[in-house]
A and B are shown apart, each in its own frame.
Chain A
Amino acid sequence: MSLIGSSVRRLEDRPLLCGQGRFAADISFPGQVHMRVVRSSLAHGRILHIDIAAAAAMPGVVAVWTGDDVSQVAPIDFRLVPVQGLEPFRQPILAQKRVRYVGEPLAVIFAEDPYLAEDAAEQVFGDIEELPPCLDPTGDLGWFDDGVASEAAVLAKSYGDVAEAFERAEHVVTLELRIGRHSGSPIETRGALARLEPDGTLAIFGAAKIPHINRRNLAKQLGLPPERLHLHEGHVGGGFGIRGEIYPEDVLVALAALRLHRPVKWIEDRREHLIAANHSRDQVHRVKAAIDGRGFVLAIDDEFWSDQGAYVRTHAATVADLTCAMLPGPYVVPAYRVRGHIRLTNKTPCGTYRAPGRYEGTFVRERLMDEIAKRVGSDPVTVRRINLVPPAAMPFDRGLEALGTHVTYDSGDYPLLLDKLLALVDHDELLGKIAQRRAGGELVGFGLGFFVEKSGLGPFDGVKICLKPDGTVEIVTGAASLGQGVETVIAQICADVLSLPMGCFTVIHGQTDRIDDGMGAFASRVTVMTGNAAHLAACGLKSKLLAAAATALQADARALEIRDGVVAAQDRSGPSIELVALAAIAGPFEAEAWFRVDHMCYPYGIHAAVVAVDPETGAAKVEKLFLAYDIGRSVNPTLVAGQLVGGAAQGLGGALFEEFVFDENGQPLAASFADYLIPTAREMPPVAIHVTEDAPSPINPLGVKGAGEGGITAVGAAIANAVDEALGRPGAQAIDRLPLSPARMLSIMKRLL
């Protein structure tokens, strides 16, 4: 039986269950100094003077730096989608001349003890001339700097004849929609340690997500040859887009280890995390659709504004780029035009969050579909069905570019998945029950949202595999683990080829001194890219093992096979040898493979929600979530379901609770978990999941697609659609923005009901 498709237990669990994890904060080195960042308390201002004398004089304080001490260090560079013209908006590692958001690093303390470092940070006084903050991304342009306006870029993508479509349209549907500012907020905050090794190498611990890419970029920024820098990933407490990018603090820690010749440790606190690590989403869309009398979409014309916050960080234009490219989703949409404005404001800078651009674009598109259904007197299911890209059109050329690749949906049967979703929710029965409840006076509704995800971003990833003389197998990859089960999945793919028990395998990841390159873990890419590389490497190793066994057994390698750790003839006649014995005699055996691909693969899914609204409090209670998702081929169904349910919880948070709110002075009002509300077990409804394998990817040998992001993508759209229906305003008549906090709901209900 193939191990692929089997829910084997995780290799990762035991140390994590026993408190033996090695997260960044768990690592310490003798003689380390602790870093504490002094952050701006103003959203916008001109730095006149920073008084560090009192802090520097405190016993136990090793050094205090301000912007002047690091003015020669280049700002943090981009790693993805570096659209021209963004360079002036990159973030310096300590504020230079201006502060641009509350939380911006203004100065930094190095001290013998973390409590002492915090004491000293309170003794730094910034004399800052307050400037008016720019907070509205859709308003008049403000000034990022003298002579530099606050619009960093306008992205434009299009295909087809949009003007002609609007001329012949029977109806034009127009909406203005907002997606609130929220982010990944993993339970482990950020952290970094750096120390100079005896050989002069700078070693950085607490790395995550993209160690090899960060190694190159950090080396460049620090002026080091890359071979003098190594990044080491330990356990990582959740990724979700926000973690593992290079932030000012990472550079400061590295620089301090070089300058102070002592190990330097920095662990972020939660307040810092909520005001200084990447925010995300926060878009305003003005969208219109040209439709015919049945609700078939002839064209979509969208203009949106991304509130980028104070600087353009490592992701550059990634979120806006993906918003533009993925907005048409699963529908034919013969003509399309989009313009996305990346606007700077005096808020925390933004980056990616799980399903970047798709959570936003899907909210817009799927609200639009409900509104179209209402306009033409159809229903949400029918109007979606007539617009879906038909299976015969696969592979489907979307006519757009995303992340530097051409968007071609590799495979899919969208109508089939819609049928399966309707069966999963028991659609007719469910609508009947909801109608009964509504007749009884309850505010309850059902909504859905269809989405196309993307996964497996190339162009490459590699795996080295070695059967050691002791019979164990070591796999070394350039992938990274954010907690998703990378070790298990990679081992599973290799164990499937080699017919060895899972317990034989060790998977090394995130260590730049163990493999030359690797692209890490983002964009739902590891199972696709590293998984296929692992498969190829294991096949290479298997050939070598069969050849060696053939010699040992004096048999024809082509007649041999490996089964349950034993090499023998396929019919099990004649002599045999255990792999362990073969390894002991002739090992180690090594193989290496690199998987390359130019295109992404595109899983797809449908979220649905049943939501009841409390007429007294305005609280929207999601009673049940559903998700039908086609993954092409599932390596470990339990881990896939884990990713999808976890994503759904985050989608629910962004739809109902989580929002980084700022007051009129740019002061953040959600700077603790008491104000930034992530869902608990109490808020999380049951999630019914149906994972299908109807459309394996034709562009990788395993046929797999990613699972990392699809759990979240249409949750906001489905919930909003259900709430509109609950309020008796089907279409996008009531809800124009997320999150649907009780206060916002009450004001909507006061207006409408």
Chain B
Amino acid sequence: MTGKQPITLKVNDAEYRIDVEPRRTLADALRDDCGLTGTHLGCEHGICGACTVLVDNEPVRSCLMFAVQAQDCAISTVEGLARNGELHPLQEAFSRYHGLQCGFCTPGFLMLAIGAIKRNPGMNEEELLDVLSSNLCRCTGYQNIIAAVRSVLGRPL
């Protein structure tokens, strides 16, 4: 249980060689072993979605996946969204629409929405609400998060 094993995680196109116990969650490995603390932990039981990352382009609760299970996968986290200092269109939209207050749930919402849009770029309002109800936000009351995501639908991301 407590023996560590070497693994390689591919995160945002970079490789991280780390030693982890088999029981170590992907979230803890990203945060504490790879130093990517943008992925947050809000409940550690798969409900709040603050820890959402993309694993092979699919939104995943990284608190419910073991790091060893994510070997050989392409992992995307919030740190990889902005390129050359320029915000990703959805990051820009969150700021424009005031879709964040404390910002703790924001990385999870960004990754959730980007994964969902990749899967279904033409989401209708119902589908959008369904997807966004996967994660919890305690500050905004969601209206501005929904507006921010809606504003980028149909745009190249």
Residues of A within 8 A of B (CB): 9-10, 12-14, 16-21, 23, 25-26, 28, 115-116, 184-189, 235-238, 240, 269-270, 482-485, 638-639, 641-642, 645-650, 672-674, 678, 680-684, 686-687, 711
Contact = CB atoms under 8 A, between A and B. Distances in A.
Interface string B104-146: 1111001000000000000000000110111111111111111
Contact of B104 (A23, A240, A650): A23
Contacts of A649: 138, 140-142
Interface of B (DSSP majority class):
loop
A17 B129 contact: no
B103 to A, nearest CB: 3
A649 B143 CA distance: 10
> Size range of the interface on B?
35 or more
A485 B21 contact: no
Given A10-B95, A483-B101, A483-B103, A680 B141 contact: no
Contact of B23 (A10, A18, A115): A115
Contacts of B77: 19
The 4 nearest A-B residue pairs measured at CB: A19-B38, A483-B102, A16-B103, A237-B104
A682 B145 CA distance: 12
Contact of B136 (A17, A20, A678, A711): A678
A681 B129 contact: yes
Given A483-B139, A680-B142, A238 B104 contact: yes
Contact of B78 (A19, A26, A187, A482): A19
18 contacts: A10-B98, A14-B87, A16-B100, A17-B91, A17-B110, A18-B91, A19-B38, A26-B31, A28-B32, A187-B42, A237-B42, A641-B98, A646-B140, A647-B141, A672-B45, A673-B47, A673-B136, A682-B129
A16 B106 contact: yes
B140 A678 contact: no
Contacts, number: 172
Contact of B50 (A115, A187, A484): A187
Contacts of A235: 102-104
B98 A187 contact: no
Nearest to B128: A681
Given A25-B37, A187-B48, A674-B45, A17 B100 contact: yes
Contacts of B23: 115
A675 to B, nearest CB: 10
A639 B138 CA distance: 15
Contacts of A19: 36-39, 77-79, 81, 107
Contacts of B48: 187, 270, 673
B20 to A, nearest CB: 10
Contacts of B98: 10, 638-639, 641-642
Contacts of A484: 101
Contacts of B104: 21, 23, 186-188, 235, 237-238, 483
A270 B43 contact: yes
Contacts of A26: 31, 37
A654 to B, nearest CB: 12
A12 B94 CA distance: 12
B140 A645 contact: yes
Contact of B141 (A13, A18, A648): A648
Which of B91, B103, B133 has the most C-beta atoms of chain A within 10 angstroms of its own C-beta?
B103
Interface in B51-86: 77-79, 81-82
Contacts of B129: 681-682
Nearest to A270: B43
Nearest to A484: B101
Contacts of B100: 13, 16-17
Contacts of B40: 23, 25, 187-188, 237
A14 B106 CA distance: 11
B41 interface: yes
Nearest to A673: B47
A645 B144 CA distance: 9
Contacts of A485: 101
